[in-house]
Amino acid sequence: MVSHGQGRTLWAGAVRPGRMHHQSTVKTEGIAGLLTQRPGVKVRVDAGYQGLASAVAEQVTAPPRKPPKDAPAAAVAAWRQARTQQSSTRIRVEHAIAEHKHWRSLQRWLGRRESFGETYLAVAGLVSDRAARR
């Protein structure tokens, strides 16, 4: 899912059956290639997309990597501060993601697997429309 800074859903798609790791999603969907085609687009991601942040560093901001266990206290404090700052800039995006999960039909999916993607996209459209009216 992609949302803009105010929390409105911009894109919800590429629904796949089962679970998929973040890096597999990046490769399967060609996200790095799409970002290089649009150099003006800036993205804030969570820690699962560290590889994407390394590949397209000028466009993708990920939380800083955790320092090693034997790192000095100053390095750990700097890491905590940087992580807190990055998380506070992503909070609206996290709320946009959570808003999809609040819909009862998605919380306990009882339908056929084949129709989940279509239902999810319909809910995403409703969530996006509701966010636009605020």
pLDDT in tens, 49-90: 888 888 888 888 888 888 999 999 999 999 999 988 888 888
What per-residue confidence (pLDDT) applies to 104?
Answer: 72
Q: Is the pTM of this model over 0.85?
A: no
DSSP-derived secondary structure for the chain: -EE-TTS-EEE-----SS---HHHHHHHHTHHHHHHH-TT--EE--GGGHHHHHHTTTTEE-PPPPPPTT--HHHHHHHHHHHHHHHHHHHHHHHHHHHHHTSHHHHT--S-GGGHHHHHHHHHHHHHHHHHH-
Q: How many domains does the chain have?
A: 1
Q: How confident is the model at residue 94 (pLDDT cuts 50, 70, 90)?
A: confident
Query: pLDDT higher for 21 or 77?
Result: 77
Range of the domain at 25: 2-133
